[in-house]
Structure 1
């Protein structure tokens, strides 16, 4: 198939072509969250099944996407964007809080957003894994973005005298693995704890990284 089918243009039903396209795309992504994030999962979903769940035709699918992998890629980015928006909003509202309270607010926002729908956790930590080199590159790029965010927070805390000054990239990379693993295991029912307890544990781990034994905050 030489690229996507061309979508119709012009106004129809009171909506512009761009508005209709955005609505179709949203419906396909909503259907993908349901099928990829629950049953049967990405690898067992067909274009026909996704289109039926979205209430659209396969022709309309190919007007928006080339493959199901394109849908998974878009959904993975959307889920990460939702979480990032929640984190940035929490960070903006916690600017003047002490480090421990600020870290708690940020991680509670992240965990609350991702865990609000278990399907988001499955998309982020399960379905995206090992699909293709392209999606692995995307997954690692988004992970690098989270590492950058943690490093920025750590550097800002160090500049305020609330954390030890050092290069935090290696520590942040390891910590992200802990975040992903613990949230996945909690979502799967393998961790007997509340989400607040999970967040508190992650904050303790982060504070242990930022404030190693023997170091004391300035003042």
Structure 2
């Protein structure tokens, strides 16, 4: 039967259906961020818990997501995007700086973006681990993005003559592995340190590899 009110097509209670669904999805994700990142964690959260926290029904949940793991996957990408954007925002301000200062600013921007909200850090470094092959693959894919970013920064330093030519990709992979390991231990409480102390330690590692080879003193 033809719609008697064409102006109302795609609308519900005066609002576009797409807008209502986007808001609903946001509420589910915000509820999950709190439960996964500050509450019982992903493994001890049920769909009904998210629905209750979001003030929505399970029917509405399954209109947006197939599984609880889908929510975790989306949040994992989101928290990585926040950290990545913090680094990208810092890049224009350090392009003309020496390599030591560039690494210092970028590492600190990353730590700020990744861990200033403890919920983000818990999801990125703890809750995602060992969930499934799918999540392991997604985690490794995002790790590759960070390795590429570091490798690109070093390639630029090589072009400027700040670092001798060479293959530093192994060092980039090792550094990202160290970041993930240290941040995991910090989130779960095995490392007692401030975020500034975490950033300082990571900088010692990065600068020791990427600046001492050029004769630059990172402590200068």
TM-score scaled to structure 1, two decimals?
0.89
CA contact (8 A) 1:164 1:212 kept: no
Question: For residues 173-188 of structure 1, what are the structure 2 equivalents within 5 Å?
Answer: 173-188=173-188
Cα displacement string for residues 195-214 of structure 1 (whole angstroms, at most 9, x for unaligned residues): 2222122122111111345x
1:132 aligns with 2:132: yes
- Paired position in structure 2 for 1:4: none
CA deviation string 1:84-108 (max 9, x = no partner): 1111001122111211111111111
Contact 1:164 1:211 in 2 (8 A): no
Residue 6 of structure 2 corresponds to none
Work out the number of aligned pairs and report it. Answer: 208
1:65-214 alignment, distance < 5 Å: 65-212=65-212
Partners in 2 of 1:205 and 1:85 — Cα distance? 23
* Distance of 2:40 and 2:189 partners within structure 1: 19
Over residues 14-39 of structure 1, what are the superposed CA-to-partner deviations in whole Å (9 max), with x where a residue is unaligned?
43122111111111111111111122
Unaligned runs of 5+ in 1: 1-8
Structure possessing the higher radius of gyration over alpha carbons: 2
Stretches (4+) displaced over 6 A: none
Q: CA deviation at 1:79?
A: 0.5
In the TM superposition, residue 186 of structure 1 has moved relative to its aligned partner by 2.9
Residue 190 of structure 1: SS of its match in structure 2? coil
Greater Cα shift, 35-44 or 185-194: 185-194
1:6 is aligned to none
Length-normalised TM-score, structure 2: 0.88
User: Separation in 2 of the partners of 1:68 and 1:37?
Assistant: 14
Whole-Å separation in 2 of the counterparts to 1:115 and 1:208: 23
CA deviation after TM superposition for structure 1 residue 13, in Å: 4.3
Asked if 2 retains the 8 angstrom alpha-carbon contact of 1:87 and 1:106, the reply is yes
On the 8 A contact 1:115/1:187 being kept in 2, the answer is no
Unaligned runs of at least 5 residues, structure 2:
1-8
CA distance in 2, matches of 1:135, 1:26: 21
Q: Distance in 2 between matches of 1:69 and 1:174?
A: 28
Q: Using the alignment, how far apart are the partners of 2:88 and 2:152 within structure 1?
A: 12
Give the drift of 1:74.
Answer: 0.5
**Where does residue 20 of structure 1 map in the other structure?**
20
